[in-house]
Chains A and B, each alone.
Chain A
Amino acid sequence: MSLTDQLLAQNTVQLDSKIPAGPMADKWNTYKSDMKLVNPNNKRKFKVIVVGTGLAGASAAATLAELGYQVDAFTFHDSARRAHSIAAQGGINGAKNYKGDGDSIHRLFYDTVKGGDFRAREANVHRLAENSVDIIDQMVAQGVPFAREYGGLLDNRSFGGAQVSRTFYARGQTGQQLLLGAYQQFSRQVGLGGIRLFNRSELVDIVVIDGRAAGILVRDLVTGELTSHSAHAVVLATGGYGNAFFLSTNAMACNVTAAWRAHRKGALFANPCYTQIHPTCIPQSDDSQSKLTLMSESLRNDGRVWVPTNPDETRPAHEIPENERDYYLERLYPSFGNLAPRDISSRAAKRAVDKGLGVGPKKNGVYLDFSDAINRLGRDVVEERYGNLFEMYERIAGENPYDTPMRIYPASHYTMGGLWVDYELMTNIPGLYAAGEANFSDHGANRLGASALMQGLSDGYFVLPYTIGNYLAPMLNKPMPGTDHPEFKAAEVAAKERFAGYLAIGGTKSPDFFHRELGKIIWDYCGMERTEQGLEKALSEIPALYEEFKKDLRVTGDGESMNQTLEKAGRVDDFFQLGMLMCKDALDRKESCGGHFRAEYQTDEGEALRDDENYCHVSAWQWGGDPMKPVLNVEKLEFEEVHLATRSYK
């Protein structure tokens, strides 16, 4: 009996993925034909809470409001337009086959399953590929100024892990333009009264009554006031947890709090060890650095990655002759070359730097060189394609990439893990949904470039508006618990105590200090390469640091006015608890797959070695009352369409 089957027999929670029956290509249509509907006039009787206003949250809120539901939307930002989806640079995939290069829904589906190293749920991925086509139409209708060719039709480019051009883009600011499209549609509904917007309001707890999600508890960041909000359904579109590493490409405020609070209330957290380390970020320059900056993967369309062959190389890049350079991606993965997927490119960069071949003052980067592209295409074309990225690089690194190759190194960027959801994007708590990066379902153990924007918009525009109706329909005219219910009151008391607690410690170190130290442990032992020994070490160091956090934290100011130190304390507290779960999960998964690379499990060539016999499952963790004692549940992954195979990009 395989480990998966043994674990399956021990599940403490019934995990029904609710995958519709029938052939893969028909499942989503079958679902839509069979689902229960809410009459247009009855939709206004239901209230849905949407937390987060990034691509998934804004698109879900706007569409639900258009359908007629009452929507309350929450963001901790000052405006719905600030969510971190805005920073996505490169593009969004769509299986339009406008280039006639052999793309299709099936091929996008296949690439995504393979790219995820066969650890995603096939049915969800197929639906994502189907929706990708509608997303492009929808965004163009909204006025998103995608790049165009001279004939006026849409332009495409290539991204890692694909051999077709299916990526739509708006300069290097695709995320910005898509988010502004969704934000504008969202704002229209705010203006029309379909959405009530609560800005500068942070979720601090989820309230579950009689086994259903009944609402949320929110802290007004300006006044510190805690307020309860009840609804028929709650959507968490609150992003990923990449900031657990402290240094990441995430925005400073990105955090795991909403998902973690849901987890503590019973929602299972799936595959927390699947984190994506993006290969092309600007290397760390000094110890006070607060974040790392991504340089879009699209740069690998024209940039060539290399390191000098001599570890003692001191000459500037342009003086190093061709025969003393190692274009290692082109050498190792000839068919994908510089466009090898992210996990593979990141590890290759790490190997080069670990061998002492790194470049730059700290020898902590590899070159991404555009000189061939500039010679072939001319500087103007390169400038048109990547001008804004080159400018950004120059502002940060102080070097001009037209003359000197960029220096890049991998950094934490995205998290494939997240709240466990079924086919309807509902967590195991009825009425609680997770969308976008906050859920786990579509990217397996590694996400392909330009697929995060696609997933956020697919979930928000084209999945939740259907599946939420299916949940709400039977609840028509049934009473809903109000915010005067004792569970809401209890949550308010607990949250008040929690925040007062941070203020009362009166120690000596700031939340940022602890976050930085925590991030270092997670990066060192649960980053690009993990070992049993290292993870055991992390699992003794994190709880020890957490104890220090609880005793020696200092939060100045008060709880009754804007206090960013206090906000940070709450978020770091949750990162500590999540950090333990990430390491537990990484320790438990005794195989390498995608972004999860256990040094003990690798091929002779240093590639990830999966164990499909024992680990072809989702690890969904249940809160066990103590962050060090989570309870494992599994969902077995069955592959009907794509055959399990060793991933090769050679």
Chain B
Amino acid sequence: MSNTIKNITLKIWRQSGPAAKGYFETHNIPEITDEASFLEMLDILNDRLVTEGKEAVVFDHDCREGICGTCSLMIDGQAHGPQRGTATCQLHMRKFKDGDSITIEPWRASAFPLIKDLMVDRSAFDRIIESGGYITAETGGAPDANLIPIAKPIADAAMDSAECIGCGACVAACPNGAANLFTAAKVAHLNRLPQGQAERYSRVEAMVETMDEHFGSCTNHGECEAACPKEISIDVIALMHKDYRKAKFANRKDLARS
């Protein structure tokens, strides 16, 4: 049954552009139903701001089903807020109580430059995928789908890491701004599958090195796993490192042959 939550104070980061100086702006939400999602609360605030002639708070969001990975937000210093395994858009006001003060900030990482207010540019993730986060299978000529049986545990493990939604919470939560969980999740998805073996070592080498161009280094804090809305395990990072180390030998041998 729905209840009303009263007197929420929001401290929201405002910044008109990448070069501008940012600041916190305080807004009060006198009351809101606990059925509302966190982002619906921001919608209501924005509607009020526009009606008052003020500029709406810019934030990324889209599907509101926790799957597109567009929404972000540091809520009280936690990426995607207090509920574990939940993206911001799936966070509901029933997790908060009367009189709460909530601080909302953008993802903060040097690889994610700020665009405006709470919106950042996460294109560096796309660069990692472009460098090798795929299986080369051009359209046409694919063999029958049941030609290669894949053991269920392998398929399930690949799916576990393929669930990554590319939101960037792992990077935002990491004290080093590292993207190891994101990169390793894709490496683990593809390198575990029989279809992914042909490019296994070239993939991991290219992806890790592109990652290193943009992001900080991993020092095993594990904050990424705690922040991940899909609860992807940091075990995938170990798999990536193992394959990367092997790649440095395997790929060198290939080089010597050519």
Min Cβ gap B138→A in Å is: 5
Decide if A145 is an interface residue (CB 8 Å cutoff): yes
**B251: Cβ under 8 A from any A Cβ:** no
Does any Cβ of A come within 8 Å of B258's Cβ?
no
Quick one: which of B117-157 are within 8 Å of A by CB? Answer: 119, 121-123, 125-126, 129-131, 133-140, 142-146, 149-152, 155-156
A564 and B56 in contact, given A361-B2, A509-B51 (Cβ under 8 angstroms): yes
B158 within 8 A of A: yes
Q: Which residues in window 1-39 of B have CB below 8 A to A?
A: 1-2, 16-17, 32-33, 35-37, 39
Return chain B residues, CB-CB under 8 Å to A183: 129
Q: List 16 A-B contacts (CB under 8 A).
A: A59-B139, A63-B139, A80-B126, A141-B137, A145-B189, A152-B150, A152-B152, A173-B67, A173-B163, A187-B126, A187-B130, A187-B134, A190-B126, A190-B130, A251-B68, A288-B43
Q: Which of B36, B39, B122, B159 contacts A78 (CB 8 A)?
A: B122
Q: Is the CB of A510 within 8 A of B158?
A: no
B196 within 8 A of A: yes
Contact check, B55 vs A557: say whether CB atoms are below 8 A apart.
Answer: yes
A151-202 at interface with B (beta carbon < 8 Å): 151-154, 170-171, 173, 175-177, 180, 183-185, 187-188, 190-191, 197, 199
Question: Which of B16, B86, B121, B123 makes the CB contact (< 8 A) with A395?
Answer: B86
Given contacts A66-B138, A142-B137, A392-B90, contact A84 B195 (CB under 8 A): no
Q: A87-B63, A251-B62 known; A145 and B134 CB under 8 Å?
A: no
Complex CA distance for A153 and B131, rounded to whole angstroms? 31
Residues of chain A within 8 A of B35, CB atoms compared: 285-286, 289, 398
What string of 1s and 0s marks CB contacts (under 8 Å) between B169-195 and chain A? 000000000000000000001100101
Measured in the bound complex, the distance between the Cα atoms of B166 and A175 in whole Å is: 15
A143 touches B51 (CB 8 A): no
What distance in Å separates the Cβ of A128 from its nearest Cβ neighbour in chain B?
16
Q: What residues of A have a CB within 8 angstroms of the CB of B17 in the complex?
A: 561
A512 and B16 contacting across the interface, CB-CB below 8 Å: no
Shortest Cβ distance from B149 into A: residue: A152
* Contact A137 to B143, CB < 8 A, known contacts A143-B189, A180-B162: yes
B256 to chain A, nearest CB (A): 26
Count chain A CB atoms within 10 A of each CB in B44, B53, B70, B125 and give the residue with the most: B70
Q: How far is the CA of A554 from the CA of B50 in the complex (A)?
A: 7
Task: Given A153-B146, A173-B163, A556-B49, decide whether A290 and B63 contact each other with a Cβ distance below 8 A.
Answer: no
CB-CB < 8 A to A134: which residues of B? 140, 142
| B253 partner residues in chain A, CB cutoff 8 A | none
Residues of A within 8 A of B63 (CB): 82, 84, 86-87, 251-252
Minimum Cβ distance to chain B for residue A567 (Å) = 11
Complex alpha-carbon distance, A146 and B189, angstroms:
12
A285 to B130 CA separation, bound complex (whole angstroms): 41
For residue A107, CB closer than 8 A to chain B, the reply is: no
CA distance A462 to B39 in the complex (A): 39
Residues of B with C-beta under 8 A to A177: 159, 162
Contact A142 B64 (CB under 8 A): no
Pairwise interchain contact A145-B162, C-beta atoms closer than 8 A: yes
A140: CB under 8 A from chain B? yes
Q: Is B257 an interface residue (CB 8 A)?
A: no
Nearest first, the 8 A-B pairs at minimum CB distance are A152-B149, A191-B130, A184-B134, A141-B142, A141-B137, A137-B142, A145-B159, A140-B145
**Least distance between A493 CB and chain B CB atoms (Å):** 26
B115 close to chain A: CB less than 8 A: yes
On whether the beta carbons of A252 and B67 are closer than 8 Å, the reply is no
Complex: how many Å from CA A342 to CA B230?
30
The digit string for A49-78, where 1 denotes a CB below 8 A from any CB of B, is 000000000010011001000000000011
Residues A79 and B64 in contact, CB atoms below 8 Å apart: no
A residues 102-159 near B (Cβ < 8 Å) are: 134, 136-143, 145-154
Is B62's CB under 8 angstroms from A82's CB? Answer: yes
Distance of B164 from chain A, by nearest CB (Å): 9
CB of B116 within 8 Å of the partner chain: yes
Chain A residues positioned under 8 Å from B156 (CB to CB): 145
Nearest Cβ on chain B to A441's Cβ, whole angstroms: 21
Closest residue of B by beta carbon distance from A555: B50
User: Which residues on A sit within 8 Å (CB–CB) of B137?
Assistant: 138, 141-143, 185
Residue of chain A at shortest CB distance from B49: A556
Whether B195 pairs with A290 at a CB distance below 8 angstroms is no
Q: Once the chains are docked, how many angstroms separate the CA of A170 from the CA of B162?
A: 10
B61 within 8 A of A: yes
| Interface residue B60 (Cβ < 8 Å from any Cβ of A) | yes
Q: A150-B152, A395-B86, A554-B50 are in contact. List 8 more A-B contacts (CB 8 A).
A: A86-B67, A143-B137, A187-B133, A285-B2, A285-B33, A465-B139, A562-B115, A565-B56
A443 at the interface (CB under 8 A from B): no
Pick from A79, A149, A289, A561: contact of B166, CB below 8 A. A79
Given A137-B143, A154-B145, the answer on whether A286 and B36 have CB atoms closer than 8 Å is: yes
Q: Which residues of A contact B51 (CB under 8 A)?
A: 508-510, 554
Q: Does B65 touch A at the CB level, under 8 Å?
A: yes
Residue tally, chain A, CB below 8 Å to B: 86
Question: What's the Cα separation between A153 and B147 when bound, in Å?
Answer: 8
CA distance A465 to B140 in the complex (A): 11
Closest to B64 in A: A291
Q: Which residues A284-342 have CB closer than 8 A to chain B? A: 285-286, 288-291, 293-294
> Taking each of A151, A554, A564, which has the highest tally of chain B beta carbons within 10 Å of its own beta carbon?
A564
Contacts of B126 in A (CB 8 A): 79-81, 187, 190, 197
- A residues near B106, Cβ cutoff 8 Å: none
Q: Are A78 and B123 in contact (CB under 8 A)?
A: yes
Q: Does A25 contact B (CB under 8 A)?
A: no
- Which residue of B66, B134, B159 is within 8 Å of A142 (Cβ)? B134
Q: B131 near A191 (CB under 8 angstroms)?
A: yes
Please measure, in the bound complex, the distance between the C-alpha atom of A77 and the C-alpha atom of B125, giving whole angstroms. 14
Cα–Cα distance between A508 and B137 once the two chains are bound (Å): 53
Q: Per-position contact with B for A550-592: 1 when CB-CB < 8 Å, else 0? A: 0000111100011111000000000000000000000000000
Chain B residues whose CB sits within 8 angstroms of the CB of A294 once the complex forms: 65
Partner of B195, one of A78, A142, A151, A173: A142
Separation of A557 and B49 alpha carbons in the complex (Å): 11
Flag if A252 contacts B62 (CB, 8 Å). yes
Q: A148-B152, A557-B56 are in contact. Are A290 and B68 (CB under 8 A)?
A: no
Which residues of chain A are within 8 angstroms of B189 by Cβ–Cβ distance?
143, 145
The residue that B139 contacts in the complex, of A66, A83, A291, with Cβ under 8 A, is: A66
- Taking the complex as formed, is B40 at the interface, i.e. its CB lies under 8 A from any CB of chain A? yes
Instruction: Flag if A556 contacts B50 (CB, 8 Å).
Output: yes
Whether a CB of chain A sits under 8 angstroms from the CB of B214 is no
Task: Tell me the nearest residue of chain A to B145, going by C-beta.
Answer: A140
The reply on B223 being an interface residue by CB < 8 A is: no
B58 located at the interface, meaning its Cβ lies under 8 Å from any Cβ of chain A in the complex: yes
Let me know if B92 and A253 touch, CB within 8 A.
no
CA distance A177 to B230 in the complex (A): 14
Report whether B65 and A398 are in contact in the complex, using a CB–CB cutoff of 8 Å: no
Is residue B241 contacting chain A, with contact meaning CB distance below 8 A?
no
A138 partner residues in chain B, CB cutoff 8 A:
137, 139-140, 142
Closest A residue to B58 by beta carbon equals: A562
What residues on B are CB-neighbors of A222 within 8 Å?
Answer: 115
Query: A77-B62, A508-B51 known; A288 and B33 CB under 8 Å?
Result: yes
Q: What residues on B are CB-neighbors of A173 within 8 Å?
A: 67, 163
